[in-house]
Structure 1
Amino acid sequence: MNDGYVARIVDAELGDALRRAGAVLIEGPRACGKTETALQRAASSVHFDREPGITELLNLDPSIVLSGETPRLFDEWQLAPQLWNLVRGEVDARRQQGQFILTGSTAPVSDAVRHTGAGRFARLRMRGMTLDETGHSTATVSFSSLIAEEKPSAQDPGLNYRDLIDRMVSGGWPGFLRLDPSAAGKNLADYLSTVAELDLREVDGVSRDPIRVRRLFAALARSTASEVTLSTLAKDETSLSRDTVRDYLNALVRIFIVEDQPAWSAHLRSSATLRKEPKRHFVDPSLAAAALGIGPEQLRKEPKFAGQLFESLVVHHLRVYSQSLQGAVAHARDSAGNEVDAIVQFPDGTWHGFEVKLGNQPEVIDNAAAGLLRFSANVDSNPPRSLSVITSMGASYRRRDGVNVIAIGALGA
């Protein structure tokens, strides 16, 4: 166990998963903290990316690799895909919970073998750190309390515009926490270069042009938090076809670099129809800034793009906070132009609407609240449990019209 470990929201999810399943799979982008989180629970470990010969030993005598104190961690397990079925068989033989933890930064080429893990494996998705995890949020307003329809009440947390910009450029990467935003941005540019030159090839053995990948990164960055189509991305990138853009995006999804926000499906009272295009996001908004080479000083002077990154940041937080509750984060916009930036829906059909605004001026909040109320009134037979405007700063409270106003620096799990 690492004494310098920074607690993560997913820690509790991992503990619960080990109590209910024989093995736990943790997936997410490189450098988001999967290994360190797993090591907090693991009693022994094998690192396939660091231990020469371990894959050959697995083929010669798998019992040696599988044996060890439990939970036993297999880090970057996808480098030895045969491990999946070996672990599944061992879980069946032992008939005990909490035997293995597998971490991976790349989804395997085919999910066919993974279907046999039903009932044996619990799966966790891990993302970058939230502001409360990095220590930049007071967490005085909890997401769980909002879902319980409790009234938020908190003073301005003190996270100003400059601080917020710094956090969006630095991102939620545990290894960069002590770096200044400029240094973190340079590391993230290197990160994207590694993805373009190496990681994408390892997904499926297909060679993809790193220059075109970088151009696609830039196109995606410019379209962060928007409903950009494949055709528009292809046109923006200028050298890729629509089908090739789809292929590149699928590969990026498999290494957890991009994560689309799907369009919501619901019945509306009016004749308006909901649009079906997803919103595009990098797994952490800092990657969008890095893809365009934008540092803190430049971003402060570009409020429109800063607003796009802020929306992406809020969507990232909602995903992290709602995951343990089995919430799914979508967006909605109808043909009449009414929209909601984020909708968190739960398995029982209940939903909560969120509008995201970088500014916190009264007229900005008034317009956002009016939009939320207008949209929700048009949803047939399934009213929202809560409506909230997430702002960059200011107090957190409930308005007279029932809409919550919450500063991102006060939001926690």
Structure 2
Amino acid sequence: MENKYLKRLIDEEIDKYLEMIGAILIIGPKWCGKTTTAEQHSNSILKLQDPDKTKNYLKMAEIKPSLLLEGEKPRLIDEWQMAPVLWDAVRNSVDNLHEQGLYILTGSTSVDESEIYHSGTGRIHRLLMRPMTLFESNESNGKISIIDLFKDPDLNIEGIKSNLSIEDLIYASCRGGWPESLNLKTREGQLFVVSSYLTNICESDVSKVNGVKSDPNKVRIILESYARNISTLAKNSTILKDINANYEDISKPTYYSYIDALKRLYVIRDIPAWSPNIRSSTAIRTSHKKEFIDPSIAVAALDLSPESLIQDLNTFGFIFENLCIRDLSVYTHSNGGRVSYYHDRYGLESDCILHLKNGDYALIEFKLGSNEIEKASKNLLKLKSLINERNMRQPKFLAIITGGEFAYTHSDGIKILPIGCLR
């Protein structure tokens, strides 16, 4: 029986941009649903990874790439990076046809820019697709819209209830937002998906991106150490030192080569520091915060399970932050959403600064339970006070995102938002 398509938040963006520009490129990690989603918007499909046709397709791409573009529009070109020449072929076709919504390209790895002649600016628009959020997987009830809070910070959220327990959140973080896992009926099967994904990364994907045979064991060790430092400001030099002290010697060039490959595969991501003019440049921490595109990768890399995490909520707190970052990034994507963090040497911090393209931003903390809400609240208010003193643009709202049950407005005006209520 065919699996039912679960609508993604990016669907509306795809429709919007197909009416505005000649082609769109959907990028993101493997298995996040790019092809399945793109198929919902296309009228013909070219799958370069089709084992029966790949050789012929690649040969045709060398001889006359425009032939591969023939077909009813929008035409989906899946895993286009296998034949980078298609990028310039698409750009040229868009120029010649002077129409919108002609092509949808998908890709699971970024491409060496030297392999293409033109950037595609004005012809090809990029959209980053992440694994499914709790709302997309029908686990969050979505009763509170982050974008609505930006529009109306006084939005009434009192008493809105999340249906997700801590156990539910832990399981969702271990399983991840991989669409294929939701199609499996057994718990064992669902958890196996990310384990298989991790194995593929280590044993083949990094090698394909680097163009040379990589050591699967070293890739796994790097991912494990990276996962131990999830949601922290650990420097790469610190992670490399940890690896060499506890496992085996990995040279600095090898480490950075693998890290670059993991970024190009959209497996890991760096969260930049927010550096407003409110402290001297020497006071603000500028290291990148370590995150994965999906928290389940960290769980798998550390060989953790729902059962072990329920006994170690301190570790899950860091994984929970990654879960929140993933979901917030998706919920605000259509409004140019991006995330940063703030931390200075005086101890003032905000786990997440959520920015929109119009310049609006919000100060956010992530707290798994309710016992640290007071501390987090005071911290956010101190940062807001410092912003006021510098006469800077004010945050639209302050919020603490929790793993708790009820949404409410704290006495100081800060929004307490269960992750299981957001969209």
Query: TM-score band, normalised by the shorter chain?
Result: over 0.9
Find 1:158's aligned residue among 163, 167, 178: 163
Question: In the alignment, which residue of structure 1 is the partner of 2:274?
Answer: 264
Counterpart check, 1:24 vs 2:24: yes
The change in CA–CA distance for 1:58 and 1:270 in structure 2 (over 3 A counts) is: closer
Deviation at residue 402 of structure 1 after TM alignment: 1.3
Aligned residues between the structures: 409
In structure 1, the partner of 2:182 is 177
**Partners of 2:85 and 2:268 in 1: CA distance:** 27
Q: Distance in 2 between matches of 1:55 and 1:339?
A: 51
Confirm or deny: 8 A CA contact 1:230 1:242 kept in the other structure.
no
- 2:90 is aligned with 1:87: yes
Task: Give the drift of 1:271.
Answer: 8.8
**By how many angstroms is 1:392 displaced?**
0.3
Q: Is 1:203 matched with 2:209?
A: yes
* Aligned counterparts of 1:125 and 1:332: Cα–Cα separation in 2: 24
Residue identity matched to 1:259: R
Partners of 1:375 and 1:158 in 2: how far apart?
32
Structure 1, 88-97 or 240-249: larger mean CA deviation = 240-249
Aligned match of 1:229: 235
The equivalent residue for 2:71 is 68
Which residue is equivalent to 2:220?
A: 214
Task: Indicate the percent of aligned positions where both proteins have the same amino acid.
Answer: 37
CA distance in 2 between counterparts of 1:27 and 1:62 reads 21
Is 1:405 aligned to residue 416 of structure 2?
A: yes
Residue range with higher mean Cα deviation, 24-33 or 179-188:
179-188
Measure how far apart 1:388 and its partner are: 0.2
Distance 1:384 1:236, change over 3 A: same
Q: 1:69 to 1:154 in 2, by over 3 A?
A: farther
Are the equivalent residues in 1 in contact too, given 2:180–2:193 (CA < 8 A)?
no
CA contact (8 A) 2:88 2:118 kept: no
Counterparts of 2:117 and 2:147, CA distance in 1: 32
CA distance in 2, matches of 1:403, 1:230: 35
Is the counterpart of residue 299 in structure 1 residue 313 in structure 2? no
C-alpha distance in 2 between matches for 1:63 and 1:245: 39
* Partner secondary structure for residue 113 of structure 2: coil
Residue 123 in structure 1 maps to residue 131 in structure 2: no
User: What is the one-letter code of the residue matched to 2:400?
Assistant: V
Distance, in Å, in 1 between the alignment partners of 2:192 and 2:281 is 49
Offset of 1:203 from its aligned partner? 1.0
The 1:20/1:44 distance shift into structure 2, 3 A limit, reads same
Distance 1:74 1:46, change over 3 A: same
User: CA 1:178–1:347 in structure 2 vs 1: closer, same or farther (change >3 Å)?
Assistant: closer
Once residues 64 and 118 of structure 2 are traced to their aligned partners in structure 1, the CA distance between those partners, rounded to angstroms, is 25
SS in 1 for 2:292: coil
Q: What CA distance in whole angstroms lies between the structure 2 residues aligned with 1:8 and 1:372? A: 32
DSSP 3-state at the match of 2:139? coil
Gaps of 5+ in 2: none
- What is the distance in 1 between the residues matched to 2:202 and 2:289? 22
Please give the root-mean-square deviation of Cα atoms over the aligned residues, in Å: 1.7
Q: Distance in 2 between matches of 1:142 and 1:39?
A: 27
Q: Which amino acid aligns with 1:174?
A: P
Question: Which residue in the other structure is 2:136 paired with?
Answer: 133
Q: 1:273 aligns with which of 265, 283, 303?
A: 283
Q: What CA distance in whole angstroms lies between the structure 1 residues aligned with 2:189 and 2:243? A: 27
Quick one: structure 1 residues 193 and 58, their matched pair in 2 at CA, closer, same or farther if it must change by over 3 Å?
Answer: same
TM-score (norm 2): 0.93
Matched AA of 1:218: E
Specify the alignment match of 2:194 in structure 1.
188
Kindly state the Cα deviation for residue 114 of structure 1 after the two structures are TM-superposed. 6.7
Any stretches of 5+ residues in structure 1 without a counterpart?
none
Structure 2 residue 377 is matched with structure 1 residue 369: yes
Counterpart position of 1:389: 400
Q: Structure 1, residues 294-313: CA drift from partner, whole Å, max 9, x if none? A: 11101111111110110000
Secondary structure of 2:350 counterpart = strand
TM-score, structure 1 length as denominator? 0.95
Choose the corresponding residue for 2:107, options 96, 104, 117. Answer: 104
Q: Are the counterparts in 2 of residues 48 and 79 from structure 1 also a CA contact under 8 Å?
A: yes
- AA in 1 matched with 2:268: V
What's the CA shift for 1:65? 1.3
SS at match of 1:16: helix
Please name the residue that 1:313 is paired with: 323
